[in-house]
């Protein structure tokens, strides 16, 4: 048995997650299979990499040495694979796209398919933008849909280009039965009186929300921390309120309402690497997404009304 790149990825993932079970899930393997693979790797390297403990695993001193070297090697391997994806013999480009939650991923896939109809295209989501930016800088992604809030600008690593697609207001997400749901716009002062659900602080979005809400003179009661559908269900069943993107589509039990004065904003952005395979079409893709966005808010009555009041079509 010879040491392979997949072995390095496996031990780095175990080190990052601190658990064979979580690492197996991340690597799309079974936990027994990963455990057996780890034993083979340790036997091949001649030493124990991890100490098994009740609540997970921790690196041994030998493991720290090996993992530190592996973490130095893997970005170079990824960059090499990214370069090989530019196949001059006419075979498919390998294009890996990341995205935070939003309405634009389908539009980006459509636009890329138009320029690269034979591309080997894959996508993956993430709760925060910064890790996606890091992945582009390291050659692990070719492009990503990311977002930032005023005063919380994303990092701009060397070589990574970012273009704004659109700035949109942040809206309130309410139970459909909430007394405030009968209004077309709500105020921060009204919202701050409620129990709240917020995303986990994987990025600084909840911090941004709290900073703006503090302008009311008090902070809301954050009772729940949840993501995606879990957060929406907490709101739907009347346990809390929250905030959402203006393009969030109302479903039964939920109400999306504008906030008076537009105190909170979110910026949708496209990021790519200046030397990556999408560099020749990056600006065009950003323009395509700006056009696609206009269709994205059509199902949302609250956003249509907001734009009509501000003569934005």
Residues 120/95, Cβ–Cβ less than 8 Å: yes
Residues 169/306, Cβ–Cβ less than 8 Å: yes
Q: What is the pLDDT of residue 307?
A: 86
Q: Domain check: are 100 and 236 in the same one?
A: yes
**What range does the domain containing 296 cover?**
92-313
Q: Domain check: are 279 and 261 in the same one?
A: yes
Q: SS3 string of 253-297?
A: CEEEEEECCCCCEEEEEEEEECCCCCHHHHHHHHHHHHHHHHHHC
CATH number of the domain encompassing residue 35: 1.10.10.10
| Domain-terminating residue out of 65, 84, 103 | 84
Q: Domain check: are 297 and 226 in the same one?
A: yes
Q: Domain check: are 80 and 97 in the same one?
A: no
Q: Domain check: are 123 and 51 in the same one?
A: no
Identify which has the larger pLDDT, 231 or 294.
Answer: 231
Q: What is the pLDDT of residue 28?
A: 84
What pLDDT digit, counting tens, does each position of 245-270 carry?
Answer: 999 988 999 999 999 999 999 999 99
Q: Domain check: are 281 and 181 in the same one?
A: yes
Q: Domain check: are 250 and 210 in the same one?
A: yes
**Which residue blocks in the chain are alpha helix, DSSP H?**
5-17, 20-27, 31-45, 61-84, 105-115, 130-137, 188-191, 205-213, 228-236, 282-296, 301-309
What pLDDT digit, counting tens, does each position of 34-81 carry?
Answer: 998 999 899 889 999 999 888 889 999 999 999 999 888 888 777 666
Beta pairing, strands 94-99 & 50-53: unpaired
Integer-rounded Cα Rg, in Å, for the chain is 23
What percent of the chain has a predicted confidence (pLDDT) above 70? Answer: 93
Q: SS3 of 236, please?
A: helix
Query: For residue 180, what pLDDT band results from cuts at 50, 70 and 90?
Result: very high
Q: Domain check: are 164 and 80 in the same one?
A: no
Q: Domain check: are 119 and 142 in the same one?
A: yes
| Domain-terminating residue out of 50, 67, 84 | 84
Q: Domain check: are 145 and 197 in the same one?
A: yes
Cβ burial of 75 (10 Å; 0-12, 13-18, 19+) is middle
Q: What is the pTM of this model?
A: 0.70
| Domain-terminating residue out of 84, 107, 127 | 84
Mean pLDDT, the chain, integer: 89
CATH number of the domain encompassing residue 160: 3.40.190.290
Number of domains in the chain: 2
Residues 141/79, Cβ–Cβ less than 8 Å: no
- Quickly count: other Cβ atoms within 10 Å of residue 147's Cβ: 22
What pLDDT digit, counting tens, does each position of 112-125 carry?
Answer: 999 888 888 999 99
Q: Domain check: are 229 and 308 in the same one?
A: yes
Query: For residue 286, what pLDDT band results from cuts at 50, 70 and 90?
Result: very high
Residue 110, pLDDT above cutoff 90: yes
Q: SS3 of 171, please?
A: strand
Q: Domain check: are 210 and 76 in the same one?
A: no
């Amino acid at each position: 048995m010879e040491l392979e790149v997949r072995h390095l990825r496996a031990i780095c993932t175990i080190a990052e997650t601190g658990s064979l079970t979580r690492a197996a899930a991340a690597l799309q393997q079974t936990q027994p299979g990963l455990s057996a693979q780890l034993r083979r790797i340790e036997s091949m390297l001649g030493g124990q990499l991890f100490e098994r403990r009740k609540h997970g695993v921790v690196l041994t001193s030998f493991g720290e040495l090996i993992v530190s070297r592996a973490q130095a090697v893997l970005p170079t391997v990824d960059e090499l694979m990214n370069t090989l994806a530019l196949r001059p013999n006419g075979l498919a480009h390998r294009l890996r796209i990341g995205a935070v939650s939003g309405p634009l991923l389908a539009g980006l896939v459509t636009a890329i398919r138009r320029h690269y109809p034979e591309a080997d295209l894959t996508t993956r989501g993430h709760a925060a933008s910064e890790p996606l930016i890091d992945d582009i800088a390291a050659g692990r992604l070719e492009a990503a849909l990311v977002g930032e809030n005023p005063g919380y600008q994303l990092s701009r690593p060397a070589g990574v280009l970012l273009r704004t697609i659109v700035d949109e207001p942040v809206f309130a997400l309410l139970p459909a039965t909430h007394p405030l749901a009968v209004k077309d716009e709500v105020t921060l002062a009204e919202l701050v009186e409620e129990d709240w659900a917020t995303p986990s602080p994987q990025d600084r979005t909840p911090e941004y929300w709290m900073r703006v809400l503090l302008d009311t003179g008090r902070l809301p009661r954050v009772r729940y921390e949840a993501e995606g559908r879990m957060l929406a269900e907490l709101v739907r069943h009347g346990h809390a309120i929250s905030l959402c993107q203006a393009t969030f589509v109302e479903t039964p039990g939920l109400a999306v309402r504008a906030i008076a004065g537009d105190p909170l904003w979110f910026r949708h952005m496209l990021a790519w690497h200046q030397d990556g395979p999408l560099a020749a079409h990056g600006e065009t893709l950003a323009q395509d997404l700006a056009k696609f966005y206009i269709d994205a808010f059509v199902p949302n009555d609250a956003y249509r009304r907001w734009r009509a009041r501000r003569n934005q079509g």
